[in-house]
Amino acid sequence: MPGVPNQETAHEALVRVCNEIDQSGAGGTPEDYAFIRAILQDVVVDAMFQTHEKQNEPVEPADHFASDAVNKLLDFLDQDPGMKSNPDIRELFNVLADRDMQAVLMAHDDIARKSFEPLQQPPEETEHHEPPPKQSPPPQQHNHTEEHETAKIVTIRKQPGQPLGITVANDESINPDQLFVIRIAENSLTAKQNLIQVGDVIAEVNGIPVRTSDQLGDAIRQSGPEIRFMVIPGGANTTNGKINQRYLKAHFAYNPFKDTRISAPSLGLAFEQEDILLINKDIDKNWWECENLRTGATGNIPSPTFEERRRHMAQAPPDKAKSSFLCGLGKKKKKPDPKEAPTKQDQGPLILYEEVIKVKPFRHKCLVLVGAQGIGRRSIKNRLIQMIPKKFGAPTPNTSRPMRDGEEAGRNYHFLTREEMEVDIKNGKYLEFGELKNNYYGTSLSALKVVIDAGKTCIVDPKSAALAKLRTIDWMPFVVFIKPTNADSLRQMNLQAINDGVDTQRKTDVEIDRIIEETQKIQRQYIHFCDTSIPYDNFESTCKTILQLLESADSTPQWVPLSWEPETERLPL
């Protein structure tokens, strides 16, 4: 019989057998041929073979990696309106988001893409590390460099069980086709030999050009114990041997040992609020590898989207309490109702990390005091101006009410018509405003500029919703969040303020609780606008602390939002 063709399907084989029986026969009787032919040509049998072939056709996957598919599903479930009401959906979400499940999926994907090094053989248990018998020692050192025009050849001999410890990345702003070393792990083989530096470009591995991290990994895995790198020193391509690095300011505290999502807490990076983090590598959409500049430790942190998802699942019912949008105006006993409630744009999105740069010292134009209404921000503002009147000033507010006897225009208020204020309010010329007894009160942005143009630092104590307007390159503020330590300290300070004549009214327990609650709300919604926070348990010491913090901020390098770079002088890092 003729040979069987390669890659022949079952249906094709059936047709071929029928044809061969007709052509050559198989030594049987005509009745046998007719019987076999009837079976093979039966429509049911033919349909069965075609169905078999259809089932064996490969299906193109929607995602090539399990973790990507599951993360898409988690994003879909996260947006499902039935997430909180349907226990089945919530249970599915929790199962898929479980740290062990995520670890299994990541391990599966690593194996599928072969992103791992081959198993290293353990070293022989001998007293002395000598070359094997009948093998002459190498004619040169295993780890060395050779100059090669502008590049150099670095030869490194891999040690069993010890990774090289190099993290690389492409930098679009310099050359997207070059592979830069962005991190060298502490105590790694590369760090100990000190032959490759951060900022160097790895051009070749064992004579093979590499342009991506995947190509580098493949070349290293396919190499023998000795690896030859062609390295272009970083000074020829980067500033001070550094590529463009990204720094983040953390606006929340993180402890990996309290995070059930991370499979190995020891690989996580702990940080406190206001810590500065250097991004070394985006491991995936859920985890980033960073260095904490305060502690010097390196590890993984949750990405913003991953942390937002966790908070969305655990968030409390939204706070629907209404509060005044006006501060620092009128008598303490009378608080104007808000004319304009804070919008989502005023509050801003949830900011977990903020990209920052380190700049040379500069004078902050504004000192912004943030805190709960009734905590005493206005008293602190007045005390600071009294202490150093040549340094500090406060904006004069506007009002549409008639001037009273004994008042002087421009001293306590600028007096405008209601129509004039409404036009300016509509045009966004006010930092904040309110209405009381059919009269407008407000602080205009131009009033801040008057103080700044006089060479003074403008002190303002706005409501938190106004911070989005202030924390910009135009005002360059230093924002201090004043927080009470606890309810008891608030009561004691209130009594002390009454004795000192600073305050005249004793706060009730309801007012104390409201201050604590509002402080927590500011912490949740507006902390990313603040440069620092201080405990408030003593009036005079708090004023002195604020002065010291501002003086330090004006005279030492500062971490500021990346958007401020055009107006500040960036420091090389």
Assess whether 254 and 231 both reside in one domain.
no
Domain membership flag for residue 183: yes
Q: Which domain holds residue 161?
A: 144-236
Cβ–Cβ under 8 Å, residues 182 and 245: yes
Assess whether 404 and 544 both reside in one domain.
yes
What gap in Å lies between CA 137 and CA 156, rounded to an integer? Answer: 16
Q: Which of 300, 326, 372 has its CA nearest to residue 533?
A: 372
Cβ count within 10 A of residue 437: 8
Domain membership flag for residue 320: no
Which residue, of 236, 266, 281, is where some domain finishes?
236
Q: Report the domain count for the chain.
A: 5
Element (H, E) at 394: none
pTM above 0.85, yes or no: no
> What value, to the nearest 5°, has the Cα angle with vertex 220 and ends 214 and 224?
155
Cβ count within 10 A of residue 196: 23
What gap in Å lies between CA 523 and CA 371, rounded to an integer? Answer: 9
Sign of the dihedral defined by the CA atoms of residues 229, 235, 241, 243, in that order: negative
Assess whether 459 and 393 both reside in one domain.
yes
Dihedral class, residue 20 (left if φ above 0, else alpha if ψ from -120 to 50, else beta): alpha
Assess whether 310 and 376 both reside in one domain.
no
In tens digits, the chain (573 residues) has pLDDT values of 445 555 566 667 767 777 776 666 556 677 777 777 777 777 777 777 777 766 656 656 655 667 777 777 877 777 776 666 788 887 888 788 776 777 787 778 767 765 554 554 444 443 444 444 444 444 444 444 444 447 888 888 876 656 677 777 776 666 778 888 876 766 677 877 788 888 889 999 988 899 887 788 888 888 887 888 999 887 544 444 344 578 999 999 999 999 988 878 888 999 999 999 999 876 667 888 999 999 999 999 999 888 888 887 765 444 433 333 333 333 344 444 443 334 443 444 578 999 898 888 999 999 999 999 999 899 999 999 999 999 999 999 999 999 998 888 888 899 999 999 999 999 999 999 999 999 999 999 999 999 999 999 999 999 999 999 999 888 999 999 999 988 888 888 888 888 877 777 888 999 999 999 999 999 988 988 999 999 998 889 999 999 999 999 999 999 998 878 655 555 544
Assess whether 402 and 504 both reside in one domain.
yes
